[in-house]
C-alpha cells in the first residue's frame, strides 16, 4: 500500500523542498518506488534535481491528462510530477468545485497507487491546495528552522490539521524535523528544547546547518551523491563518538513508517 507524506510549513526557506528531495532520493535508493509531487508553483523540486520546470500538476488535475505521461524520471525509482506557475490554476479549480479539496485528495490517492511512497512538497502559504494535500496524506512532516520567529510556522500547520480533523477527517500523524541546527548557537539549542517540551516524541533529531546541503543542487546532485558523509546526512558528532540526527536518521524513521501496518 502506498504512503502519502506531505512536507509542510507555511513558512518559506525552512527546508521543505530540500527535505523532500533528500528523503525522496534516499527512499528511492533503498528500492522504494518514489514520487515527488511539486505542489509549490515556484517549481523548486525540478530546480533542485536539474530538471526542466513544467506544468505537470496543472495538466494532471486541471486538464485531467494521465499521470504516467506527465511524471519525469529523475533517478532509478525516483519520479517527479513537476510544477510551475500554472499550478495556481489547480487552486482555482479546487476552490470552484464543491468538496474540491476532497476531490483532489481522492484523485491523488487513486492515481498514485503504483508508487510505494509519494512526497508532496507544499508551498509556503495556506491555500486550498495545501488543505487538499494534507487531506490526501497519511503523514505530515514539518521541517522547521530553530529561530524564535520560525516556530509559529509549526503552530500554523497544527491549526490546519485541527481544522481538517474538525471536518471529519481522521487525525494525521505528524513529525517535526528541526533544520539548520547549530549546536554552538544558544538560540537554536534553546528553541529545540522548547519544541521537544511542546511536542515530545513528535520532534525528530535535528539536521544541522551544512553548506553541503546548499551546494548539492548547483552540481545537479542529490546530497547523497554530492557529500555522502556530511553532517547534514549522517548527523553531528556529539563528543561521545556518536552521531545525532541528520537526514540518514530521518530516512530510517521513514523506512519504519513504510514497513508499518495500517
Ligand X SMILES: Nc1ncnc2c1ncn2[C@@H]1O[C@H](COP(=O)(O)OP(=O)(O)O)[C@@H](O)[C@H]1O
Q: Least separation, in Å, of the C-beta of 12 and ligand X?
A: 4
Residue in 3, 10, 11, 17 binding Mg ion, rule: CB under 5 A: 17
Which range touches ligand X (CB under 6 A), out of 13-21, 89-97, 160-168, 195-203? 13-21
**Subset of residues 163 to 222 that bind ligand X, contact rule: CB under 6 A:** 179-180, 207, 209-210, 213-214
Q: Least separation, in Å, of the C-beta of 59 and Mg ion?
A: 21
Torsion angle in degrees (nearest 10) through CA of 83, 86, 88, 91: -80
Cell output for 193? 528544547
Contact 35, 119 (CB under 8 A): yes
Rounded distance between C-alpha atoms, residue 204 and residue 25, angstroms: 19
Q: Least separation, in Å, of the C-beta of 17 and ligand X?
A: 4
Cell output for 6? 506531505
Rounded distance between C-alpha atoms, residue 210 and residue 231, angstroms: 7
Interaction partner, residue 222 (Mg ion, ligand X, none; CB < 5-8 Å by kind) = none
Rounded distance between C-alpha atoms, residue 129 and residue 213, angstroms: 28
Interaction partner, residue 213 (Mg ion, ligand X, none; CB < 5-8 Å by kind) = ligand X
**Subset of residues 41 to 70 that bind Mg ion, contact rule: CB under 5 A:** 44
Footprint of Mg ion on this chain (CB under 5 A)? 16-17, 44
Amino acid at each position: 500500500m502506498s504512503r502519502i507524506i506531505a512536507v509542510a510549513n507555511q513558512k518559506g526557506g525552512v527546508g521543505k523542498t530540500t527535505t523532500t528531495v533528500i528523503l525522496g532520493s534516499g527512499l528511492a535508493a533503498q528500492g522504494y518506488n518514489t514520487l515527488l509531487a511539486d505542489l509549490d508553483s515556484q517549481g523548486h523540486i525540478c530546480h533542485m534535481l536539474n530538471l526542466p520546470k513544467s506544468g505537470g500538476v496543472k495538466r494532471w488535475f486541471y486538464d485531467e491528462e494521465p499521470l504516467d505521461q506527465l511524471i519525469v524520471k529523475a533517478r532509478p525509482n525516483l519520479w517527479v510530477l513537476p510544477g510551475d506557475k500554472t499550478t495556481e490554476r489547480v487552486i482555482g479549480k479546487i476552490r470552484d468545485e464543491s468538496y474540491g479539496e476532497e476531490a483532489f485528495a481522492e484523485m491523488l490517492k487513486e492515481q498514485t497507487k503504483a508508487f510505494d511512497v509519494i512526497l508532496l512538497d507544499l508551498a509556503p502559504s495556506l491555500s486550498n491546495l495545501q488543505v487538499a494535500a494534507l487531506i490526501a496524506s497519511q503523514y505530515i512532516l514539518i521541517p522547521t528552522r530553530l529561530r524564535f520567529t520560525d516556530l509559529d510556522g509549526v503552530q500554523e500547520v497544527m491549526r490546519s490539521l485541527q481544522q481538517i480533523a474538525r471536518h471529519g477527517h481522521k487525525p494525521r500523524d505528524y513529525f517535526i524535523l528541526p533544520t539548520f541546527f547549530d549546536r554552538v548557537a544558544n538560540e537554536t539549542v534553546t528553541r529545540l528544547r522548547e519544541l521537544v517540551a511542546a511536542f515530545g516524541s513528535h520532534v525528530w533529531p535535528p539536521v544541522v546547518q551544512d553548506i553541503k546541503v546548499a551546494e548539492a543542487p548547483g552540481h545537479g546532485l542529490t546530497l547523497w551523491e554530492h557529500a555522502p558523509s556530511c553532517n547534514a546526512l549522517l548527523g553531528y558528532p556529539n563528543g561521545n563518538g556518536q552521531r545525532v540526527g541528520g537526514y540518514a536518521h530521518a530516512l530510517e524513521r521513514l523506512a519504519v513508517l513504510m514497513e508499518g501496518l495500517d
